Amino acid sequence: MLLPTSDFAGLSAHWYRIADSLLAKTRVELWVYCPKTAEPMISGNKWMKLQYHIKLIQQQQYRGFVTFGGAFSNHLAACAAAAELFNIKATAYVRADTIDRQNPTLQFCLAKGMTLIATDRQTYRQREQADFLNMLALRHPDCLIIPEGGSSVLGASGIAGLNLTDTPAGPADVIATATASGGTLAGLITARSQQVHSNSSSEIIGLAVVNDPSLPVKVTALLKNNAAHPAPWRIVATAPDQRYAKCAAEHIDFCCEFALNHNIALEPVYTGRALCKLYQMIAAGEFAPGSRISFFHTGGLQGLAGLYYRQLINQQQYQILSAATVG
């Protein structure tokens, strides 16, 4: 049975105000926005990016979708969970030489019925190329192709339905998010641009967790061109010399400290790495006293099990991060 996407119950969002000595000293107000759904794998930015893809699959009567991701991808876990919920077929091209059935993310995807196709790096690199996509469309004629990370115009449109501007204390001066494939940032820019009651000085910052020089072009391509008041935005590198998904001790420590101090769970690949950079910017005085910042908690906590599985975090760190109840 197909469920209409509007029947996907349990979508709610909570705001958390962070209080600590740095924020007090710099007089910067920081709010964390956490959207939740009934299915934890689709929390954060995941449901927002997937919802219009699912709707299109239902409308066009596709049997399912084909998508792409790394072996520990939050996007793949979310897609697998959504496919089971909406009773649609899911196929993923996974950047891996083999499908490791002990990998917690892939194990979850397989348990949800997703078909996983191990894809070598060279082939995987073609995932945005027209020839490759045409070949996939022929190979999977009954499936919608969802780009890596769900970052299509549809994905960005889903994010654009969020309101990260209006914190419980009033309008934010800065809206910040972790950025990888760009759909989340594009959606936030679109949302902000469409708000007629706009506080024109507010800015959207994408804290890039990947070293991808084409990211600004990708984000621009995903922006809806009907934005009434283009919102100012910029991309800030989180750690330029560090590769994506290779987590630094600095980011792991930041996540653990944050979990212990605020009971908010982060992971060091996306949200923790991004928030750590935001803290460095605050400490460097990049935001005027009195600024109010809204930070998007984009989820991704399923990734913690994969970090532990690869021994990139130790047991104590895994326990601290898993014990925090918010996020």
Binding site for ligand PLP (CB under 6 A): 44-45, 74-75, 149, 151, 178-185, 270-271, 298-300
Nearer to ligand PLP, 274 or 282 (CB): 274
Closest to ligand PLP by CB, 26 vs 47, is 47
Q: Which of 26, 78 has the CB closer to ligand PLP?
A: 78
- Give the Cα separation of 212 and 185 in Å (integer): 14
Q: Rounded to the nearest whole angstrom, what is the least distance from the CB of residue 251 to ligand PLP in the complex?
A: 13
β-strands 12-18, 203-208 pairing: unpaired
- Measured in degrees and rounded to the nearest 5, phi and psi for residue 207 equal -90, 100
DSSP 62: -
Residue 167 vs 238, nearer CB to ligand PLP: 238
26 vs 151 by CB, closer to ligand PLP: 151
Nearest to 287 by CA among 21, 31, 24, 26: 26
Q: Are 148 and 53 in contact (CB under 8 A)?
A: no
In the complex, minimum distance from the CB of residue 210 to ligand PLP, in angstroms, rounded to a whole number: 8
Q: Least distance in Å: CB of 30 to ligand PLP?
A: 18
Rounded least distance, CB 151 to ligand PLP, Å: 5
**Strand spans (E) along the chain:** 12-18, 29-36, 64-70, 89-95, 115-119, 143-145, 166-167, 170-171, 174-179, 203-208, 233-237, 292-296
Residue 21 Cβ vs ligand PLP, minimum distance, rounded to whole Å: 27
Q: How far is the CB of 270 from ligand PLP (least distance, A)?
A: 3
Q: Which is nearer to ligand PLP, 26 or 276 (CB)?
A: 276
Q: Taking the CA of residue 21 as centre, how many other CA atoms within 13 Å lie in the half-sphere pointing to its CB?
A: 1
Q: Which residue sits closest to ligand PLP, CB atoms considered?
A: 300
Cβ–Cβ under 8 Å, residues 201 and 174: no
